[in-house]
Each structure stands twice: as C-alpha cells, then as structure tokens.
Amino acid sequence: MDNMAQTFRAYYRDDPRVDKSGKLAHLLYCQFPGYKNLDPGVKPQKALTTSILHHVCSLATSEVDKAMNSLVIGAFFFAMRSCKYSKTKGVKCTKLLTLRNICFFYGRQEIPHSSSQIKRADTVSISFEYQKCNEHNDIITQYRTDNYILCPVHQWASIITQIHNYPTATNKTTVNSFLSIEGKLVQITSNSFLLKL
C-alpha cells in the first residue's frame, strides 16, 4: 500500500489513503479493524451458478431439502458467507441471521411476518447486525423477480413462514432452524450445505 501511495505522489497526485483533511480515509478506517478479527482467511471456491441452484431444487425430496434450497437461493441473492445463514465451526465475529433481521415491503408499507400476503412483497431487506468489515446494522434490499425459484422475496418468505409455524419459534430464532422428527428446533450446518451441493 505504501508503494502505491509513493507512485501517486511521484505523479503529483493526492495520497489515496487519506481524505482532504489528511486523516485516514473513512473506508480504510472501517476496513482495517475487520482484518484483525478472528475469522480465518477466505479460501477461494468455485461460484454457484443459477443452473446449479435450479438443479439442486429439482432434486429436493424432503422438507429439510426444501428449507436448505430456500436458504441457499436466498443467500445467493445477498452474496452471503455461510456463517450468515448456517451453523459453522469455530469462533466467528459475524452473527447468524435471525427472523427479526428480515423485513418485507409492498411499496413503502412493511408486511408483517404473520401476514398471508408476505409472498406478494415487492422487496426483501436484510439487516446484517455485524459484518467482517466492521459495519453495523447494514441493510441490503433485493427486489422480487419473475422467476418463481430464483426470487429472493419468495425464498425468504418461504423460510420465514416455515419457521414461524414452529411452536417454539420467536423473532430471535435463527434462519437456519428446522423442526426435527423429535419435535426440537435444530440448526442446519454449513457442512450439510457443502454435502448437498
């Protein structure tokens, strides 16, 4: 980074690391603390394509398969890391999403999770409480699509509706929760998703 700044100065340009007042640029100020957290480095992986997501959906036979499909497709639209929507091993600084992090809107009107109109929403917004880059309560919004399977609104509405139907679910229930055969809420793990894919 110092080499880049020297090159800029050599060509009579401003140092890109600082703002006009000479302080460290806000973007870098937010990013640097994120590099010091406990999460391991990212291992490059092949990206999922929409054709793979369609194929995985066509193979779903059980209720847990369908729940996993909705989570994978919903996460796809928000470019989520697995630690946001599944139980992972190790210490993570990011937080697993809960039902309260998901909001649906029709125009500017919020649709409550209990509404039967939830799948008719125009948009779904997710509030990420803590990100690796040290951002807090970052809200990302996605719009509904014409594709029934590859639609973030439809998939997140399916997740929310299914989990809210569980007798012990609350707004603090995580999005990867599933009702086991024994009648207990269990969390779907990232290893389960890897095996499925």
pLDDT tens-digit series, residues 6-48: 776 777 777 777 777 878 777 777 776 666 665 556 676 677 8
Strand partners, 178: 186
Q: Which domains does the chain have, with CATH numbers?
A: 2-35 (no CATH), 50-196 (3.90.15)
Instruction: Please give the Cα distance from 101 to 126 (Å, whole number).
Output: 5
Q: How confident is the model at residue 121, as a pLDDT?
A: 95
> What percent of the chain is predicted at pLDDT more than 70?
84
Between the alpha carbon of residue 58 and those of residues 31, 54, 62, 80, 119, the distances in Å are 40, 6, 12, 22, 21
Q: Nearest Cα to 53, choosing from 78, 76, 83? A: 76
pTM over 0.75: no
Instruction: Render the burial of 68-102: b for 16+ CB within 10 Å, e for the rest.
Output: bbbbbbbbbbbebbbbbbbbbeeebebebbbbebb
**Who contacts 76 (Cβ-Cβ below 8 Å, separation ≥6)?**
48, 53
Average pLDDT over residues 130-151: 81
pLDDT (tens digit per residue) in 156-196: 999 999 999 998 889 999 999 988 888 888 888 888 877 77
Strand partners, 135: none
